[in-house]
C-alpha cells in the first residue's frame, strides 16, 4: 500500500522529517511518499497561510491519484483543504488534527493541545468544535515558538514545548497531550518520557488510521458532497483545473 503524506508547507527539511516519522510507524509493506507543494508558504501560522496551502494540498492529491496512491495524510495541524482533498481522492484522506483527537480520546478522558503560536490556537479550537471533540479537550495551549524553530536544534523549542506540556499536565487535569504541529512529528516519544503521560502526535496517528482504512477497503464516499468535483471551466492561473 502507498500512503502519500503531504506537508502543506514548502520546507523540504520538515517534509523529510515528517516522512521519517511516518515510515517509522508504517506497517511492513506500506510505502510512505512524503511530499510538499512546489509553491506556498514556508510555514503555516495563520488563516491566510492555510488558505494558500490548501491549493498545494489539492495539487498533491491530484498527483497522488495519477500515481496510484492508496491513501493520504495531510500533515499540518490545521488540516488545510481536508474536505477538498476528499472530494478529489478515492482512497481515504486523514488530517493529522482529526487523527490525533480521535487517538487521544481512546487513551484518556481529557487531553490538552500544545501548539506553536498563540494566534493559531483558535484554528485548533475551531477543529475541535467541527469534529465534535470540544468536550474532551480541556485547553489549547501555545509554546509561543515559530514553526520553523522546530527545525533548529539551537532554538530551545523542545524545552519550551516540554515546559508547556508540563503545565498542561499539572494545571489542566488531563491524561494525555496532543502535539499541535506536524513539525513536532519526531518529538512525541521524548516528550512522553519527560512528562510521564501519553503524548499523541498527529502524523503518526494519521498514518495508522489511513493504513487501517485502506486495509478495510474503506475509501472516501463518492456519494453526496464528497463526490468528485463537477467538471467546469477554470480561468487564469487555475485554468489547468478545467481538465
Separation between Cα atoms, residue 220 and residue 216, nearest integer Å: 12
For residue 243, what pLDDT is reported? Answer: 75
Q: Read off the pTM.
A: 0.96
Separation between Cα atoms, residue 68 and residue 45, nearest integer Å: 31
Strands (DSSP E) contained in the chain are 2-6, 31-35, 71-74, 93-95, 111-115, 137-142, 176-179, 199-201
Which residues, 6+ apart, have CB-to-CB distance to 67 below 8 Å?
A: 4, 33
For residue 181, what pLDDT is reported? Answer: 97
CB-CB contact of 94 with 117 (8 Å) = no
Separation between Cα atoms, residue 60 and residue 231, nearest integer Å: 19
Separation between Cα atoms, residue 166 and residue 168, nearest integer Å: 5
Separation between Cα atoms, residue 123 and residue 134, nearest integer Å: 13
Q: What is the DSSP letter of 199?
A: E
CATH 3.40.50.720 fits 2-96+204-242, yes or no: no
pLDDT 10s digit of each residue in the chain, 243 long? 999 999 999 999 999 999 999 999 999 999 999 999 999 999 999 999 999 999 999 999 999 999 999 999 999 999 999 999 999 999 999 999 999 999 999 999 999 999 999 999 999 999 999 999 999 999 999 999 999 999 998 999 999 999 999 999 999 999 999 999 999 999 999 999 999 999 999 999 999 999 999 999 999 999 999 999 999 999 999 999 997
Radius of gyration of the chain from its Cα atoms, rounded to whole angstroms: 17
2-96+204-242 and 97-202 share one fold: yes
Q: Which helix (H) or strand (E) holds 191?
A: helix 188-195
Separation between Cα atoms, residue 221 and residue 200, nearest integer Å: 28
CB-CB contact of 112 with 191 (8 Å) = no
Where along the chain do its domains lie? Answer: 2-96+204-242, 97-202
Q: What is the CATH number of domain 97-202?
A: 3.40.50.12500
For residue 178, what pLDDT is reported? Answer: 98
Amino acid at each position: 500500500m502507498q500512503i502519500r503524506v503531504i506537508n502543506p508547507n514548502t520546507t523540504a527539511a520538515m517534509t523529510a522529517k515528517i516522512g521519517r516519522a511516518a515510515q517509522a510507524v508504517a506497517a511492513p509493506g506500506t510505502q510512505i511518499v512524503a511530499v510538499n507543494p512546489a509553491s506556498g508558504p514556508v510555514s503555516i501560522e495563520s488563516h491566510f497561510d492555510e488558505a494558500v496551502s490548501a491549493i498545494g494540498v489539492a495539487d498533491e492529491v491530484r498527483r497522488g491519484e495519477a500515481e496510484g496512491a492508496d491513501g493520504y495524510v495531510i500533515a499540518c495541524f490545521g488540516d488545510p483543504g481536508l474536505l477538498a482533498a476528499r472530494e478529489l481522492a478515492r482512497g481515504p484522506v486523514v488530517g493529522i488534527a482529526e487523527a490525533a483527537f480521535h487517538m487521544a480520546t481512546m487513551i484518556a478522558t481529557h487531553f490538552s493541545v500544545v501548539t506553536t503560536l498563540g494566534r493559531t490556537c483558535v484554528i485548533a479550537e475551531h477543529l475541535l468544535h467541527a469534529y465534535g471533540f470540544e468536550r474532551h479537550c480541556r485547553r489549547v495551549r501555545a509554546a509561543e515558538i515559530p514553526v520553523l524553530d522546530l527545525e533548529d536544534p539551537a532554538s530551545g523549542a523542545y524545552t519550551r514545548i516540554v515546559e508547556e506540556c508540563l503545565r498542561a499536565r499539572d494545571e489542566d487535569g488531563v491524561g494525555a497531550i496532543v502535539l499541535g504541529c506536524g513539525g513536532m512529528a519526531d518529538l512525541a516519544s521524548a516528550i512522553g518520557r519527560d512528562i510521564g503521560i501519553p503524548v499523541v502526535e498527529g502524523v503518526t496517528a494519521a498514518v495508522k488510521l489511513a493504513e487501517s482504512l485502506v486495509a478495510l477497503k474503506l475509501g472516501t464516499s463518492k456519494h453526496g458532497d464528497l463526490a468528485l468535483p463537477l467538471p467546469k471551466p477554470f480561468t487564469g492561473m487555475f485554468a489547468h483545473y478545467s481538465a
